[in-house]
Copies of this chain bind each other. A is one copy, B any other.
Amino acid sequence: MVVKSELKLIKSLQQKKYRNEHGLFVIEGKKALEELLASVILPYKVYVTNTANFNVKCDCLQLVSAKELQQMSALKNSNGVLGVFHILPSEPIGFKDWILVLDGIQDPGNLGTIIRLCDWFGISSLVCSQDTVDCYNPKVLQATMGSIARVNISYTDLSLFLQGNILPVYGSFMNGASVYESELPEKGILVMGNEGNGISDAVTQFCTYGISVPQYGKATTESLNVGTASAILLNEIRRKE
């Protein structure tokens, strides 16, 4: 049985404020849960409706009824497993490699995609503006697929961060120079901006270089989505090494 106060705690974790207060977050779905249990992120409690479907050993496993699980779940139809994990403290940012900086990313799916790309391309430090969507938002977690455990994510004032840093700063701008023809150093900072408005003025002033992905064929009014633009730019950074 799950006591009322526990249910209340878990439901409160759907809000960033309470996630930060308790240092906990929730993840649903078997695959994502199994990946987190195999990672450095520590479980607080894992609830399952049926242990037969869930083969992972975990000290904090608790069998609950389908009704109880549904009460905890943020999904319309909960899927039999729900885990509560400890938020990983941010590590110091390493300046020995490329760093990805996000300025005001709003869409959880985009942030999830970008975290997964960092994992793929071995970008260990992701630095987000304070108005970027929270990385422990359930929709972000759904899109990261476990990569969240392998990327060091910090939220900070970007002006202060960029002001003091020693690396060259490359901003992704619609009118930036072609990334194909840009010389990319061994290490640097890549800044990606908000979905609608791009990089903010406050951050633009710290961008030493503007780069872009060339459009092929006839120009249209469209821009690339920030997730696909990040994919291409990170690929360009790594392929040049």
A residues neighboring B (CB under 8 Å): 35, 109, 113, 116-117, 119-122, 143, 145-147, 150, 180, 213-218, 220-222, 224-225, 227-229, 231-232, 235-236, 238-239
Q: Is the CB of B216 within 8 A of A122?
A: yes
Of the residues B220, B227, B229, contact of A119 by C-beta under 8 Å: B220
Of the residues B113, B120, B214, B229, contact of A215 by C-beta under 8 Å: B120
Q: Measured between alpha carbons, how far is A215 from B67 in the docked complex, in Å? A: 42
Indicate whether A146 sits within 8 Å of B113 (C-beta atoms), given known contacts A120-B215, A231-B232, A232-B235: no
Q: Which residues of B contact A220 (CB under 8 A)?
A: 119-120, 147, 150
Does more than half of chain A's interface fall in helix, strand or loop, or is it mixed? helix
Of the residues B120, B213, B217, B235, contact of A222 by C-beta under 8 Å: B120
Q: Is the CB of B113 within 8 A of A225?
A: yes
Q: Is the CB of B180 within 8 A of A228?
A: no
Q: Measured between alpha carbons, how far is A53 from B150 in the docked complex, in Å? A: 46
Q: Is the CB of B218 within 8 A of A122?
A: yes
Q: Measured between alpha carbons, how far is A113 from B224 in the docked complex, in Å? A: 9
Q: Which residues of B contact A145 (CB under 8 A)?
A: 222
